[in-house]
Amino acid sequence: MTLYDIIFYLFAIVTIFSAYFVVTVRNIVYSAFCLLFTLFGIAGLYALLGADFIAIVQLIVYVGGILILIIFGVMLTNKITNVQIKTGVFQILPATVGVGIFGGFLLAVLLNTTWVNLDIKTSPPTTFQLGTLLMNEWILVFELLGIVLLIALLGAASIARK
Amino acid sequence: MVTVGLYHYLFISTILFSLGIFGIVTRKNAVMVLMGIELILNAANINFVAFARYGNFGFQGQLMALFVIILAAAEAAIALAIVLNIYKVFSSVNVDEINRLKE
């Protein structure tokens, strides 16, 4: 049990428990805050996997952008005088059974497959390799994603303004 | 099983994926459904980054994770704009009460 393992289990416990609370707590604001801890835990897992740039992007885009958007969504779609911001739930029992069967199936597939398991040790600064790939092999995808982001921005502004 | 390897990361992403589906199926509020979608996208991302480290894809797995994050940002912006419009028309964002496209 090295330090790496201890830090991994810490992040794993934070991620899974807060994700569990995201989907079970009735209060929407609480579950948005639990989503914050889930995203932090996942960023920690990326850092443990040697993907430092992805971890930072996860923190900036998810925690700084998407989570704020979601909290704005919660605030704007509930009446201000309504102190209890709750969500209704339905189909709890069939959903539990179905998701249990599905998750068990996925776990069985995971454990019964022999994955390629090389354990490539990457040097911590991954930005050079990522930038080289983005500007050479994946340049078309990079530009297309820029266009997609622009169209999404314009579309969101024009939909919300109506 | 104590030493952390590929299976541990895949296990976490499996659990996150199942929890995301549970959230999508059981929540009534549309914003909560969005949170379930974010959980599923993050589970896929953990798989991409884990296979970038343990598989033989090099850095392309991390690149895919980056693309997924970008698309998730675009998806969240559009979806919240749609949710705000739905709230203007129906005064509620419960997905079981929204049953017509006409205003």
**Which of A32, A89, A160 is nearest residue B84 as measured by Cβ atoms?**
A160
Domain boundaries, chain A: 1-78, 126-162
Structural contact between residues B38 and A35, judged by C-beta atoms closer than 8 angstroms: yes
CA A130 – CA B48 distance, rounded (Å): 14
- Look up the CATH number of domain B6-90: 1.10.287.3510
* Closest residue in chain B to residue A21, using alpha carbons only: B19
In terms of Cβ atoms closer than 10 Å to its own Cβ (0-12, 13-18, 19+), residue B78 is middle
Domain boundaries, chain B: 6-90
Q: Please report which confidence band the pLDDT of residue B68 belongs to, taking 50, 70 and 90 as the band edges.
A: very high
Predicted confidence (pLDDT) at residue A153 exceeds the cutoff of 80: yes
DSSP category for residue A27: B
Contact A23 B22 (CB under 8 A): yes
Best probe of the A interface among B16, B34, B35, by most A CBs < 10 A, is B35
Q: How far apart are the first and last CA of chain A?
A: 57
**Which of A46, A62, A155 is nearest residue B49 as measured by Cβ atoms?**
A46
CATH topology of domain A1-78: Four Helix Bundle (Hemerythrin (Met), subunit A) (1.20.120)
**Which of A23, A53, A96 is nearest residue B23 as measured by Cβ atoms?**
A23
Tens digits of residue pLDDT in A68-98? 988 888 888 876 566 566 777 778 888 899 9
Q: Does A140 contact chain B (CB < 8 Å)?
A: no
Q: Does A123 contact chain B (CB < 8 Å)?
A: no
A23 vs B contacts (CB less than 8 Å): 19-20, 22-23, 26-27, 35-36, 39
> Is ipTM strictly over 0.95?
no
What are the angstrom distances between the C-alpha of B4 and each of A108, B16, B50?
A: 19, 18, 12
B26 vs A contacts (CB less than 8 Å): 23, 89-92, 95
Contact B36 A23 (CB under 8 A): yes
Q: Please report which confidence band the pLDDT of residue A45 belongs to, taking 50, 70 and 90 as the band edges.
A: very high
Q: Please report which confidence band the pLDDT of residue A36 belongs to, taking 50, 70 and 90 as the band edges.
A: very high
Exposure string (b/e) for A38-51, b if CB count within 10 Å is 16 or more? Answer: bbbbbbbbbbbbbb
Contact B4 A8 (CB under 8 A): yes
B50 vs A contacts (CB less than 8 Å): 49
The kind and range of the H/E element at B35 are: helix B30-54
**Which of A70, A91, A133 is nearest residue B25 as measured by Cβ atoms?**
A91
Q: Does A108 contact chain B (CB < 8 Å)?
A: no
Tens digits of residue pLDDT in A92-116? 888 899 999 999 999 999 888 888 7
Contact B6 A115 (CB under 8 A): yes
Q: What's the mean per-residue pLDDT of chain A?
A: 87
CB atoms within 10 A of CB A27: 14
Q: Does A68 contact chain B (CB < 8 Å)?
A: no
Tens digits of residue pLDDT in A17-35? 999 999 888 888 888 899 9
Please state the rounded mean pLDDT for residues A111-139: 83
Give me the percent of chain B exceeding a pLDDT of 70. 97
